[in-house]
Structure 1
Amino acid sequence: MDIAGRSRLLRVSLAAVAGVAAAVLLGAPAMAHVEVEADHPQAGARDVTVTFNGEAESPRAGIRSERVVLPSGISPQDVRLAKAPNGWKLSANPDGFTVAGPALKVGQDAVWAITVAQLPSNATELPFKTLETYSDGNVVRWIEIPQAGQPEPANPAPVLKLQPAAAVPTGASPTPSSAAPAPSSAAPTLTHGPAASANTTVSKGLWIALIAVAVLVAAILASLRWRRRSRR
């Protein structure tokens, strides 16, 4: 193959590698989640508004209900509804609550909020395991607790990070606190939903892209060596 042919081959290879890298790194499917935040995320805080955002992921059905398992230290009696989609109501469960109503439009996120009478005073984070049900009956279980130093699980539960409790003045009696967090035996069992692990997808994509780049670099180096020998 002459120099012009090799140059064309290199240009084609470069374009192919660039396409693969872009498709893998930029085109990987987004991972939907349920997110949680609070207006006063501090251990022991009272009358805290906790807001949830359930991201819609189904291309065919809308979200119709969100069932939340409350963390230890918060009981269903400590919770009241602060905000929800039109027509949605809150009902208590033995281990938490459910907000439900008319199915939302396809692609519309479910946003709702609760007011918690008091957050546990000795907690650093509060997981809210959530089961998201669509109008076609499909259930996505966001119930896996992320672990520090580990990749995000396929179906992570929304976790509210808390600031330390306010210091009690010297000589004052401490505010009664809720029970220490303990594993909930009523937590739902994980079954496979339609969501896949975004971290796994991106990790595999990075390896593919790196291998493709290595092949490209090797091809360029070989071409340069061939050119040097052909000019001698």
Structure 2
Amino acid sequence: MRNGFRWSAAGVLAGLGVLALAAPAAAHVEVSADKDRAGASDVTLTFHGEAESTSAGIKSERVVLPEGIDPATVTLVKAPAGWTFTRGADGFTVGGKALKVGADAEWKVKIAKLPDGQTRLSFRTLETYGDGKVSRWIEIQRAGEDEPDNPAPLITLKPGPKATATATTAQPTVSAPGAAASGPAPAGVAPSTPATVQAEPAADDGGSSLWWVWVLAGALIVAGGAVFLARRRPNRS
């Protein structure tokens, strides 16, 4: 009996594990881009909205564009049959007849140009069902943080060429010691003194400034000779 009970319990736990693995993940709206660099032109974005309702189909998807993308530069590439594309002040909407229950929504748009200098673009999306239910995928996903409960669709990009060029040219330049600064110093700020200052050579005066040295040397020689002769002269007293 005990062995039978143990096998039954193990079977129940295994069954629960299979059900847990088979359970669908929470529905999301996701986005991907065919070009992965900031500032890229003519980029196609593909959105995929997962159906989460068991009683109604998806009727429309309203997308709020991130800062730097003008709705006027967005055009529709593909949408579910019968759906239309409408621009708004901050984004666009694709929608029409509700899809079948459980059917995912997929649509594509073309962006004329992605913003320069931005590597994380969030597209907040409102997903509306035929029964009026609205799923709000509008929470911004922050780098290094856990995914929020209702994350906005996100694409991550590589830095564009402009950002790379700016980072390269922005390196500070160091002038050589003693180099003069170009242009006058701003008012109220004293010009900086060079770290190394070379002394200017003295003007050549033709040796005229050394005449007294020779006079003094001659006097010393004469005096020394006189003392020498006085010491060698015999004492007659």
TM bucket by the smaller chain? Answer: 0.5 to 0.7
In the alignment, what sits opposite 2:177?
Answer: none
Structure 1: where are the runs of 5+ without partners? 171-232
Q: How many residues matched?
A: 166
Distance in structure 1 (CA, Å) of the matches to 2:159 and 2:31: 18
1:165 to 154, 160, 169: 160
Distance in structure 2 (CA, Å) of the matches to 1:9 and 1:92: 63
1:53 to 41, 48, 51: 48
| 3-state secondary structure, aligned to 1:94 | coil
Structure scoring higher RCO (CA < 8 A, sep ≥ 6) equals 1
In the alignment, what sits opposite 2:39?
Answer: 44
Sequence identity of aligned pairs in percent?
Answer: 55
Distance in structure 2 (CA, Å) of the matches to 1:42 and 1:153: 25
**Which protein has the larger Cα radius of gyration, Structure 1 or Structure 2?**
2
Using the TM superposition, give the Cα deviation of residue 88 of structure 1 relative to its aligned residue in structure 2, in angstroms. 1.6
Structure 2: where are the runs of 5+ without partners? 166-237
Distance in structure 2 (CA, Å) of the matches to 1:99 and 1:169: 36
CA separation of 1:7 and 1:66: change in aligned 2, threshold 3 A: same
In the alignment, what sits opposite 2:3?
Answer: 7
Asked if residue 122 in structure 1 is aligned to residue 117 in structure 2, the reply is yes
Using the TM superposition, give the Cα deviation of residue 169 of structure 1 relative to its aligned residue in structure 2, in angstroms. 10
In the alignment, what sits opposite 1:183?
Answer: none
Distance in structure 1 (CA, Å) of the matches to 2:12 and 2:80: 46
Deviation digits for residues 74-122 of structure 1 (CA, Å, limit 9, x no counterpart) = 1211211111112222212221111111212222211111111110110
What does residue range 1-232 of structure 1 map to in structure 2 within 5 Å? 5-23=1-19, 25-166=20-161
Distance in structure 1 (CA, Å) of the matches to 2:33 and 2:103: 22
Distance in structure 2 (CA, Å) of the matches to 1:145 and 1:107: 26
The structure 1 segments of at least 4 consecutive aligned residues displaced by more than 4 Å after TM superposition are 167-170
Deviation digits for residues 114-167 of structure 1 (CA, Å, limit 9, x no counterpart) = 111110110111100000011111110111122334332221111011122135
